[in-house]
Structure 1
């Protein structure tokens, strides 16, 4: 069973399943997070949806690069969680199935390619309370023990 985080399921609401893949990008005592200004300003683990026919690890590399401008090396799978949420940018109620990997930032190739994103180095202790998604915070906390 995959643990659920965030808001409760709304009775009668139809949700579309959206598999996604995310990374804890650890370097020393900091993580590389994304700051997304819209629709709600928040810090997030870099990552996102897996496109139809796309391999998950390829999607992770693509999403991290789009949101941070960094090339990464994937280390290992940390776990998975799900959350039910409204995604205003897609006008979609989604059951997000989020798989999280530990990865190492290798090289910054440029700024984030996706509008509205900024790459931000957060101290790990700060990230534990500043990441906007409770599932992201739980994955980081379990990694740190």
Structure 2
């Protein structure tokens, strides 16, 4: 059973399954996050939706590059969580199935190419409270408790 985080499922609301992949990117005592300006300004773990026919690991590399400009080296899968939410950028009620990986930033290639996103280094311990959704916060906290 995959844990649900965030707001409760709305009775009668139809949700579309939206699988996605995200990365906890630790380097020393810092974490590389993305700051998304809209629809709500917030810090997030880099990542996003898996395109139809795309392998999840390829999607993770693509999403992290788009949102941070970094190549990453994936260490291991940390787990998954579900979020039920409205995605205004897609006008979509989604059941987001979020798989989270531990990875390390390997090389910065360019600035983020995703409009409205900025790559931001945050102190990892403080970022546990700064990330915009409870699933991101829980997986960052879990990664900080585990040996790297």
TM-score tier, shorter chain, comes to over 0.9
Shift of 1:142: 1.3
2:15 corresponding residue in structure 1? 15
The unaligned stretches of length 5 or more in structure 1 are none
Structure 1 counterpart of 2:83? 83
SS of aligned partner of 1:62: helix
Q: Does residue 130 of structure 2 align to residue 130 of structure 1?
A: yes
Number of equivalenced pairs:
145
TM-score by length of 2: 0.97
Structure 2 residues without counterparts, runs of 5 or longer: none
Question: What does residue 56 of structure 1 align with?
Answer: 56
Shift, 1:126, TM fit: 1.1
Whole-angstrom CA distance in 1 between matches of 2:128 and 2:60: 22
Cα RMSD (Å) = 0.5
Shift of residue 63, structure 1, vs aligned partner: 0.2
Q: Which residue of 1 aligns with 2:6?
A: 6
TM-score, structure 1 length as denominator? Answer: 0.99
Q: Equivalent residue of 2:57, what SS?
A: helix
